[in-house]
């Protein structure tokens, strides 16, 4: 593929940290993980950062920590119908029930106007997703949460460095989560992080990710539901280099995203794209688009771009009605019309730092050729 979703290049700093772990004959959670947590928190100003084995595990730990704050098994967590499956899977894995809410076509994010109607006496939290690095509209969401006494989890797995009204995403709600998969702006190969400003929640997160033991306790005292969700020192070694390069990575990917938007301005009659508003800073995770006219055939466009060497993925779709994994919940087609439309007509491709301008021009030319010929 000429244009992939991400590329991992391991440099000298990461190799030094990897060698340090090897020399200690200890590659499970150790000094590199502690340093990675410290540096991640410092880079974005998060008071506490807790490393996990994946972004999905960060989501599970975030959800499961709610038990220590009064939630009960079977309670509901409101979440967008459209997202990567990890959000709904994490809610289920932690013993909660996802209550899906439709999204906005313009933002790909949960529709704040539909949240309040989804709240019941079993609602424990709202789990928003900053989809494709576009911040969700957090002010009305936080107002709803305060009014109903609900916790807020921000899935920022695709949104490293994104800002909403001058605040980094992940710092607005009670807990923020991140992923360090290869397509993301900070990459460990695998790995995740949960952040919070609450010392109580930090201790709950550390306990949940280590089998429910008290944080820092080596004895078999299992106080709550937990999993083995620890990051290892090899992953953290790679991530430490990614953190040191983050400002440059962020700048380059922002430039790539803006360049792609400029190059595809003349395609606005064919596709919806994400526009950045004055109150926000989009994290350049990928380049998403949604067909305005379904007759242009998303699947045909997908294959066309893939054949040209541009790796594509769909825009997730409606988890409760377009993915068999959630059919057991009994939802029916038509319940989430916007998510379902995006699921049938949306796709995205990468804009990672190692692309060059020729690659971006090539992608725009291929898009233009498709629509002019279809």
Active site (catalytic) residues: 184
Distance CA 165, CA 365 (A): 35
Residue 210, φ and ψ in degrees, nearest 5: -130, 55
Provide the pairing of β-strand 286-291 with 271-272.
antiparallel
Sort 27 into a burial class: Cβ within 10 Å, 0-12 / 13-18 / 19+.
middle
- The answer to whether the CB of 65 falls within 8 A of the CB of 268 is no
Rounded to the nearest 5 percent, the helix, strand and coil shares of the chain are 45, 20, 40
CA-nearest of 110, 168, 115, 109 to 144 is: 115
**Residue from 48, 103, 4, 56 nearest 306 by CA:** 4
Q: Which helix (H) or strand (E) holds 347?
A: strand 346-350
Bridging pattern class, strands 271-272 and 163-164? unpaired
Question: What's the rounded Cα separation, in Å, for the pair 293 and 290?
Answer: 9
**Run of H or E including 89:** helix 86-93
* The two structure tokens encoding residue 270: 């064919």
From the list 316, 352, 372, 284, the residue with the least C-alpha distance to 88 is 316
Of 3, 103, 127, nearest to 343 (Cα)? 103
């Amino acid at each position: 593929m000429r244009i992939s979703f991400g590329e991992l290049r391991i440099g000298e700093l990461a190799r030094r940290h990897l060698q340090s772990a090897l020399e200690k004959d200890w590659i499970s959670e150790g000094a590199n993980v502690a340093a990675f947590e410290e540096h991640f928190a410092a880079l974005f100003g998060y008071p506490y950062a807790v490393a996990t084995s994946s972004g999905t595990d960060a989501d599970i730990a975030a959800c499961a920590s709610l038990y220590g704050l009064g939630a009960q098994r079977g309670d509901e967590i409101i979440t967008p119908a459209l997202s990567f499956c990890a959000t709904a899977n994490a809610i289920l894995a932690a013993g909660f029930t996802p209550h899906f809410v439709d999204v906005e076509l313009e933002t790909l994010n949960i529709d704040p106007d539909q949240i309040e109607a989804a709240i019941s006496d079993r609602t424990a939290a709202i789990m928003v997703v900053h989809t494709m690095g576009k911040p969700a509209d957090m002010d009305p969401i936080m107002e709803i949460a305060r009014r109903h006494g609900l916790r807020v989890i921000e899935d920022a797995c695709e949104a490293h460095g994104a800002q909403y009204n001058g605040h980094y995403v992940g710092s607005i709600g009670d807990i923020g989560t991140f992923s360090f998969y290869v397509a993301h702006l900070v990459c460990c190969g695998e790995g995740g992080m949960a952040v919070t400003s609450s010392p109580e929640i930090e201790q709950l997160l550390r306990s949940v990710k280590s089998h429910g033991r008290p944080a820092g306790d080596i004895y078999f005292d299992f106080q709550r539901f937990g999993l083995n969700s620890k990051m290892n020192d090899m992953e953290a070694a790679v991530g430490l280099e990614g953190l040191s390069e983050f400002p440059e990575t962020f700048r380059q990917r922002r430039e790539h995203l803006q360049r792609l938007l400029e190059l595809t301005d003349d395609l606005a009659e064919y596709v919806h794209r994400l526009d950045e508003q004055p109150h926000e800073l989009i994290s350049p995770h990928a380049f998403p688009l949604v067909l305005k006219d379904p007759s242009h055939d998303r699947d045909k466009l997908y294959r066309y771009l893939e054949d040209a060497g541009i790796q594509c993925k769909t825009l997730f779709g409606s988890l409760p009605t377009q993915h068999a994994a959630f059919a057991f919940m009994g939802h029916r087609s038509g319940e989430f019309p916007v998510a379902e439309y995006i699921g049938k007509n949306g796709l995205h491709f990468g804009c990672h730092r190692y692309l060059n301008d020729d690659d971006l021009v090539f992608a725009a030319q291929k898009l233009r050729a498709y629509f002019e010929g279809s």
